[in-house]
Amino acid sequence: MKKRTADASPEAGKDDLWLFYGDEFLVKEQVRHIVDRTISAELRKTNFIVIDGNNPDLGDLSSQLFTPSLFGGERVILVDQTPVFMSRTDRSKLVAKVTQSWRSGARRAALKALSQLLTVAGVDRSDVEQGSEWLSEAAGDSISNDDKDILRAAAQALMEEGKPTSVGTDEHLIEELISSSFPEGTVLIFTAPAVDRRKKVVKVIEKRGRVVECAAREQKYGGGLDRSFFDRRVKEWFVEKGKKIAQDALDEMYARSGKEIRRLHGEMEKLIGFVGERETVTSKDVRDVFSDFHEASFFDLTNALRTADIRKCLPALHENLKLVDHPLQTLGAIAADVRRLLVARELLFTVFRKEWRPDISFDAFKRLARDARDAHPEMARKGRYKLLSMNDYPLYLALKDAQKFPMEKLVRIMEAVLDADVMMKSSRLGHQSPRSILEDLVLTICTPADAHPRGKPGHPRA
């Protein structure tokens, strides 16, 4: 299979059939290269045709493909983000996209990924409307209950919008279309979240056109992009904008960046607006404007700690410690999350005591949350630990996490946090090996509630 890295533009030539897959931002970038090269600016609105790839109308696609443009000139037809080239083995990728997008508030992206997931799994609207059995077919049995709740909520939103779901598109008809000779000057592009290279339809495109994986080069070990890939991409982008970036500014930007190409470009756009007419971006500009991607690592760590699973918690701790300036930042994040769990646990015993159930659905909880805010308006005001001021879904997840921890265990954990704070600030061990103190704290968090209390962090374990 022909593959091209994400930092290489498609080669000029007479190629009229493409399949791009992988990172959606990089996929769109490659499509833009072809459109810019193929269609003149004045014909862009009429001769660039986009077809929804999740439920493509093959009759419409055929008509668009073989009917010459009324305005003349070359044309590009894009079948956007289609799951046609995926298989059931790709379901986990789409589940992850749905849940991550939903948690981050990117509702449209979540619903789009869910629609793709249902198509790949062969689940239609009637399956979803009949109950929850479709979850096993679409996502398998190994996903967490929280992820299942998100899929249910997203599916309900998808149904309410009246979006159709499909059990798939006839791949044989697509094979016939792409095997035909296109009118001169017509380019057909498919994009996809992923592809199964074993599928015949993919092999047909490879033989007739080009298949390109769009993926950023990442560090072999670590949480960032490959440095040479990062430097080249950033420098070239600033040159396109008529700017230069100082080496220390580039170093600062790399230290703050992660693996997200889309977010990297968003932050660079902010920098362009910030520097205005100045030609060179400085390290101070980066410190003033460029967000630190690694702040998300605290979210990853606290998510892991709420599972109380040592197999998840220790790797998350070690990854977090690579990214912070001082281990006390990690301890502070753990302390803040334990306090939130304490507040959430208290809400379960007070505000939600009568109607909360361990297996309550999100839909049922939304009514409880509304009633609680009406009854306790003072608790719904904005504040760091005023959880009723949170949106419904994050509050729902916080309460479900809190019910996993008995109050006595949360108190024991907070006492261990305070002990760790004292030791890290005042002891020789805290100066020489703060990591061991935090590891011991994590082990305390992961100790079952009915186990004997552990020794203080950094002390011989009981």
Q: Specify whether the CB–CB gap between 192 and 21 falls below 8 A.
A: yes
Nearest to 78 by CA among 68, 87, 65, 66: 65
pTM: 0.60
- Per-residue pLDDT tens for 272-297? 888 888 999 999 999 888 876 655 45
**Res 34: pLDDT:** 95
Which residues does the chain have with pLDDT short of 70? 1-14, 104, 163-169, 221-223, 292-299, 323, 325, 449-462
Cα–Cα dist 416/457, whole Å: 7
What are the residues facing 80 on neighbouring strands? 52
- Per-residue pLDDT tens for 8-40? 444 433 489 999 999 989 999 999 999 999 999
Say if strands 210-214 and 17-22 run parallel, antiparallel, or are unpaired.
parallel
Q: Specify whether the CB–CB gap between 120 and 92 falls below 8 A.
A: no
Percentage of residues in the chain with pLDDT exceeding 90? 33
**Res 70: pLDDT:** 76
Q: For residue 281, what are the contacts with CB-CB under 8 A and spacing of at least 6? A: 238, 243, 244, 245, 246, 249, 271, 275
- Per-residue pLDDT tens for 180-237? 888 888 999 999 999 999 999 999 999 999 999 999 888 775 567 889 999 999 999 9
Indicate the CATH number for domain 298-446: 1.20.272.10
Cα–Cα dist 296/323, whole Å: 10
Give residue 42's identity as a one-letter amino acid code: E
Domain boundaries, the chain: 17-84+169-214, 88-160, 227-291, 298-446
What are the residues facing 225 on neighbouring strands? 218
CATH class entry, domain 227-291:
mainly alpha
**DSSP per residue, 247-291:** HHHHHHHHHH--S-HHHHHHHHHHHHHHHTT-SEE-HHHHHHH--
The first and second tokens of residue 34, run together, are: 């072809």
The CATH fold assigned to 17-84+169-214 is Rossmann fold (3.40.50)
Handedness of CA 25, 30, 33, 34 (dihedral sign): negative
Rounded to 10 deg, the angle between the 310-321 and 327-349 helix axes is 140
Say if strands 186-192 and 210-214 run parallel, antiparallel, or are unpaired.
unpaired
Q: For residue 352, what are the contacts with CB-CB under 8 A and spacing of at least 6? A: 368, 372, 399
Cα–Cα dist 367/424, whole Å: 44
The first and second tokens of residue 211, run together, are: 């298949």
Q: For residue 327, what are the contacts with CB-CB under 8 A and spacing of at least 6? A: 321, 424, 434, 435, 437, 438
What are the residues facing 21 on neighbouring strands? 192, 213
Residue ranges of alpha helices (H) inside 1-144 are 24-38, 44-47, 58-66, 91-103, 107-121, 125-129, 134-139
Cα–Cα dist 284/70, whole Å: 53
**DSSP per residue, 104-171:** TT-HHHHHHHHHHHHHHHT--HHHHHT-STHHHHHH-S-S-HHHHHHHHHHHHHHHHTT----S---H
SS3 state of residue 307: coil
Q: Specify whether the CB–CB gap between 47 and 39 falls below 8 A.
A: yes
